[in-house]
Amino acid sequence: MKHFFSIIGGMGTIATESYVHLLNHRIKIARDQDYLNYILVNDAQVPDRTTYIKDHSQPNFFPALRDDVLGQAKLHPDFFVMPCNTAHYFYPELAALTDIPFLNMMQIAVHHFIEKFPNEEKIGLIATEGSIYDRLYEMEIKQDGRQPEFGGPEIQPAVTKLIYDNIKQKGVVDAELYHWILRQMHDKYGCNVILLGCTELSLAQEKAPDHPYNVIDPQAILADVCIELSLKIRNGADPKEVIKKYMY
């Protein structure tokens, strides 16, 4: 197979399935050959990211991801993507394993927010406890001169319930709960834009998009970027040159 990218997924599997669904349905096609070339590594055995980030005595998820990246690097993909926000805790270490470009979903999402909403000084951030705890999104947002808003003490337990109790454990999206979280972030905490810092939240957006709030969905943005890059590379562009635009 010529010109493909590698997806380091399985964190969790349903969220990865949602990402692949976006890839396949957001591209314009008229025949089978119009779809993208990619290899999906659905490593469902990667230890829980939040558990390790909050407690380093728990199983470390880096070795599993390291093995996945090194294994895929032998196949020489044009680039890597990892549709899991929390797993970007080890992004620098993973990207350093190979000279193959590795897209950073967090950076791409924050830059998209700035480009689409240049006058917004604040952005709501809802994510796993791990992503909040490691402050990666927070630092990325502040680096670009914006301020993250996490909401009050009632927000994180609701987000955790939506991600873990509903989606990860039961495989269902509680649309009412998802909309309640967005409404609280908008009405109570003044967030005109809310960033979905977990791919399970991206799945919630896919399944329950019928709300009036502005959201930044990193998974959907990553899918669009992969489509753009893949089509340019398919049409003869140099992979490393076209990818430079998204390597911040």
Per DSSP, what are the bridge partners of residue 42? 9
Q: Is 226 a catalytic residue?
A: no
Q: Is 198 a catalytic residue?
A: yes
SS (H, E, C) 128-149: CHHHHHHCHHHHHHHHCCCEEE
Contact between 10 and 43 under an 8 Å Cβ cutoff? The reply is: yes
Per DSSP, what are the bridge partners of residue 214? 193
Q: How far apart are CA 3 and CA 235, in angstroms?
A: 10
Q: Which of 41, 53, 159, 198 is catalytic?
A: 198
Torsion of CA 29, 34, 37, 43, to 10 degrees: 20
Sign of the torsion formed by the C-alpha atoms of 170, 174, 177 and 179: positive
Q: CB neighbours (10 Å) of residue 231?
A: 15
Residues 6+ apart with CB under 8 A from 75: 6, 39
Tokens of 32: 């089978």
Q: Which of 36, 64, 84, 110 is catalytic?
A: 84
Which residues participate in catalysis according to the annotation? 84, 198
